[in-house]
Chain A
Amino acid sequence: MKAKIPILFAVSIAIIVLSLVLVKANIVQPIATIFTGSLGDARRISGTIKEMTPLLILGSAVYLALKAGLFNIGAEGQYTVGACFGSLSMIAIGGGIGVAVGCFVGIITGALWALPAGLIKAYRNGHEVITTIMLNAIALLMTKALVAGPFKGPDQFTPSTSMMPVQSRLVPLFTIGNLEIPQSFVVGIVIVLLLAYWLKRNVSGFELKATGANPTAAKFAGVNTKQVTVKAMLMSGGLSGLAGALQVAQFEHRFYDGFATGYGFDALGVALLSGSNPAYLILSSFFFGAMNKGGTALVILGVDKGITTVVLSIVIVMFAAIRYRKKEDIRE
């Protein structure tokens, strides 16, 4: 098995080089551009941090579910409803209270959006991946209908809410020259640390990990695994909803159709790459953020950013091959 990992690795590099040769592009320049475009200077680093912030919180959400043995593909939908209803509350109420209420609403709506998947998994044995895919699609369509119809901002031409008033938007926590550290980023770091602590020290976290690692052993250990499943989906959905609301308050200042551009799937990648240690969520979301930011810089060179998606998907598969290979299934 171990011998096959380098083969996968070599294959992925070969694919990139081959793709670039195929389109007759310079090979060195695009790779260099990914680096300079994401980390070249303080302004670009700020851009990378902006890209990684939602992925950090969403990654934590997906990671939590993964620890309970659940693939929360629905992070994208939960993020979307959290952002939509969070933004509506922020705009309606306004000010600091509006942001606080909006975040709360984001958590609640995100959790509610994950609830059907948790219930169907626990009590009907319906696969959470399928239900969350359905819930994602419903979330995208529903929020679109809302901001195209009853909640469309009067000043907007496309389906979107109006902009939040300037004074109630979150400002960066601090800036050093061109380097901006947003508040939502700090919230994300705090969430990761709390999550790590909770999983390691709290008895509920302990039972959640047991349920994910071996549900039978967990049952014999007195754990109500059905309850844990529902609870894990609720928490994961709440975190995703919070990510959406914070994204509105910090960066976007409104909700619009197409708000969640593939974040949900990236979040699964972030969680998978983190492996067994939640602290690695910070590293892996940084990696994804940098690839996204660098990918945008590639467009100027005339190279489509799809190439970074290809690289990310290969990296995910490689890590999955190492970490998630089922041990008990190795028989003749």
Chain B
Amino acid sequence: MNSFLLQVVTMSAPLLLLAMAGYASERSGVINIGLEGKMLTACFVCAAFAPQFGAIGGVVMAILAGIVISMLHWTLTQVYRIDHIVSGMAINLLASGGTGFLEASGFAKNTLTEAQRLPLWFYYAVALLAPFLLFWAANHTRFGLQHKSVGSDPSKARLLGINPQRIRLLALTLTGVFSGLAGSLLVSETSTFTKDMTAGRGYIALAALILGGWRPIPAALSCLLFGLATAVQIQLSGKPMFGMQIPSEIWKMLPYIVTLLALAGLLGRNRTPAGLGKH
């Protein structure tokens, strides 16, 4: 049972951190389908730098990498006004191709030793606190309020003297920090970088964010739910249930099906921020 709980935490914590990265960006009105690429880059950078810079150095570099890519997304969408989808897609391609290329060329090959990884409890503690912190910030700080207003209606916010681009710059910095943490956690769990190791987590985190109605605590709970489904699937693999062999794919599909139902409005109202993708 203990190992089962651990499995749930292992599966959901990286998702949760990444979902918080998505929250920071999307609630400010910047569509972020590039989470996958941001996390993958962070995984790579952490694996590449931790051997020389140590555990903390690796995480710091991963966070910096997350911020740099998020700034690229900000520049493309807010300065060049490129469609947010195209920018996010390009970031995913760039990250997948770029890290694959560098890895094949001999970077980030080492398996991280104990000393080169931050202890997992550190990440889990952050993942536990982050949703509450973000929830508190959204409701009790000036930045949180302005962040929300920009995601709802950038032009009305502008009339009240708020600069939407500046708020989104800060929001995407936060996205960078959380993607950096999510990436280094994943590498710490596996100890090595492998090509495309994020394996769609960016999209599942996005799904959790949507399922949670773009609110930090429900999004975090959705991540736990998805983690639980994965852990159950691992536990059950090969074992029959109700006298039937249920393919593991059915379990894996659950997050996506539930999210689709949520988007179809079958699970309560649609809470999409009204200013998503607007300037």
Stretch at the interface among A81-89, A93-101, A121-129, A178-186: A121-129
Contact with A along B170-208 (1 / 0, CB 8 A): 000000000000000000000000000000100100110
For A149, what are the chain B residues with a Cβ–Cβ distance below 8 Å? 247
Say yes or no for B279: interface residue by CB 8 A criterion. Answer: yes
The A290-310 residues at the B interface (CB cut-off 8 A) are 302-310
Chain A CB within 10 Å, residue with most, of B89, B252, B279: B89
Task: Classify the interface of chain B: helix, strand, loop or mixed.
Answer: helix
Smallest beta-carbon distance B11→chain A, Å:
16
Say yes or no for A148: interface residue by CB 8 A criterion. Answer: yes
- Contact of B264 with A120 in the complex, beta carbons under 8 Å: yes
Smallest beta-carbon distance A17→chain B, Å:
13
Say yes or no for A142: interface residue by CB 8 A criterion. Answer: yes
For B210, what are the chain A residues with a Cβ–Cβ distance below 8 Å? 130
Q: Please give the number of chain A residues whose Cβ is less than 8 angstroms from any Cβ of chain B in the complex.
A: 53
- Contact of B87 with A320 in the complex, beta carbons under 8 Å: yes
- Contact of B101 with A310 in the complex, beta carbons under 8 Å: yes
Say yes or no for A312: interface residue by CB 8 A criterion. Answer: yes
Say yes or no for B33: interface residue by CB 8 A criterion. Answer: yes
**Cα distance A71–B31 in the bound complex, in angstroms:** 13
Stretch at the interface among A166-174, A212-220, A323-331: A323-331
For A329, what are the chain B residues with a Cβ–Cβ distance below 8 Å? 81, 279
Contact of B82 among A148, A265, A269, A325 (CB under 8 A): A325
- Contact of A148 with B247 in the complex, beta carbons under 8 Å: yes
- Contact of B87 with A137 in the complex, beta carbons under 8 Å: no
Task: Classify the interface of chain A: helix, strand, loop or mixed.
Answer: helix
**Cα distance A134–B209 in the bound complex, in angstroms:** 13
- Contact of A126 with B263 in the complex, beta carbons under 8 Å: yes
For A73, what are the chain B residues with a Cβ–Cβ distance below 8 Å? 33, 85, 89
The A52-74 residues at the B interface (CB cut-off 8 A) are 71, 73
- Contact of B100 with A304 in the complex, beta carbons under 8 Å: yes
Smallest beta-carbon distance B180→chain A, Å:
21
For B94, what are the chain A residues with a Cβ–Cβ distance below 8 Å? 309-310, 313-314
- Contact of A304 with B105 in the complex, beta carbons under 8 Å: yes
Say yes or no for B103: interface residue by CB 8 A criterion. Answer: yes
- Given contacts A25-B105, A124-B265, A134-B259, is CB(A306)–CB(B97) below 8 Å? yes
**Cα distance A133–B265 in the bound complex, in angstroms:** 17
**Cα distance A317–B82 in the bound complex, in angstroms:** 8
- Contact of B263 with A130 in the complex, beta carbons under 8 Å: yes
Supply 7 A–B pairs (Cβ within 8 Å), ascending by A. Answer: A25-B105, A116-B260, A133-B203, A272-B86, A304-B103, A306-B98, A330-B81
